[in-house]
Amino acid sequence: MKKILVIEDDVKIAQSLKQGLETEGYDVMTAFTGEDGFFLISTENFDVVVLDLMLPGRSGLEILEALRRRDSQTLVLILSARDELKDRIIGLDSGADDYMVKPFAIAELLARIRVLLRRGRADQVFHLQFADLELDLVTREAWKAGEPVDLTSREFDLLAFLMRHQGRFVTRDMIARDVWKEAARATPLDNVIDVHMARLRKKIDQNGEKLIHTIRGVGFTIRADKS
């Protein structure tokens, strides 16, 4: 199920969007301020963000620019009352994938989201690199310092997930949902995640360099650090 975040300070519009999107089978979350929206995109993974520009607390452009600075591949559709050509150009140049002007027809918005999801981002990343680690997401091959690393399919997915979130922590809830594709986390799955993380560490944390770190009570992060 595709996951969509609606960041819109008009509660009626946000609720209408949520209802329409859920009717189409999407998993939808809403945020009514820029700060709440920024928090959600920093802690959750979304396929599409429907983003208003004029938000209390933090503007939509600030959220969009922060998202793109992290090389996030999340699709962003700006939904704004700003209808001048210069506003559209600024939004698209800042990294938006589409721009719609209010008032809008929900049927058109749903159609545009379907197009975005079929097309994906033009600059979608197929190669990940962190420190001396490299992953080819197409061939599913991994290298450390130029040497191939033999990873199981689950280990590869787990490492790719960590590398996509480099510089941020990931929780066991996030790993359960986005790597194991389990909607509800349970203690047995926590143990399985920890076992796979330990095996992954043995394969990539070598020569005194520790890359995968456990944050007690929070989750995990990947960063370059000498032990």
Domain boundaries, the chain: 3-119, 127-226
Q: What CA–CA distance (Å, rounded) separates 172 from 15?
A: 30
pLDDT for 185 equals 60
| pLDDT at residue number 28 | 96
Query: So what's the pLDDT on residue 224?
Result: 80
Q: Is 24 helix (H, G, I), strand (E, B) or coil?
A: coil
This model's pTM is above 0.75: no
CB count, 10 Å around CB of 223?
15
Contact between residue 159 and residue 135 where contact means Cβ atoms under 8 Å apart:
yes
Mean per-residue pLDDT, 21-50: 93
Q: What is the pLDDT of residue 159?
A: 95
Q: What is the pLDDT of residues 36-77, one digit of tens each?
A: 999 999 888 899 999 999 999 899 999 998 888 876 778 999
pLDDT average, residue stretch 28-38: 95
CATH code given to domain 3-119: 3.40.50.2300
- Block residue for tokens 């922590």: 169
The pLDDT tens digits for 126-180 are: 778 888 899 988 788 999 988 999 999 999 999 998 988 877 788 888 888 778 8
Are 212 and 170 in contact by the 8 Å Cβ rule? The answer is no
CA atoms of 12 and 28, how far apart (whole Å)? 15
Check residue 189 and give its pLDDT: 84
> 1 by DSSP, 3-state: which?
coil
pLDDT value of position 10:
95
- In angstroms, rounded to a whole number, what is the distance separating the alpha carbons of residues 182 and 49? 22
- 227 pLDDT band, cuts 50/70/90, is very low
d(CA 215, CA 207): 22
Q: Do domains 3-119 and 127-226 have the same CATH topology?
A: no
User: What's the CATH code, domain 127-226?
Assistant: 1.10.10.10
Strands 147-149 and 127-130: unpaired
Residue 214 in this model has a pLDDT that exceeds 60: yes
Mean pLDDT is lowest, of 47-56, 105-114, 217-226, for: 217-226
Q: At what angle do helices 85-93 and 60-69 cross, to 10 degrees?
A: 30
Report the C-alpha gap between 81 and 212 in whole angstroms.
44
What separation in angstroms does the CA of 220 have from each of 9, 96, 141, 168? Answer: 33, 30, 23, 9
Question: Any idea which residue has 């079929």 for tokens?
Answer: 118
Chain centroid to CA 121: 13
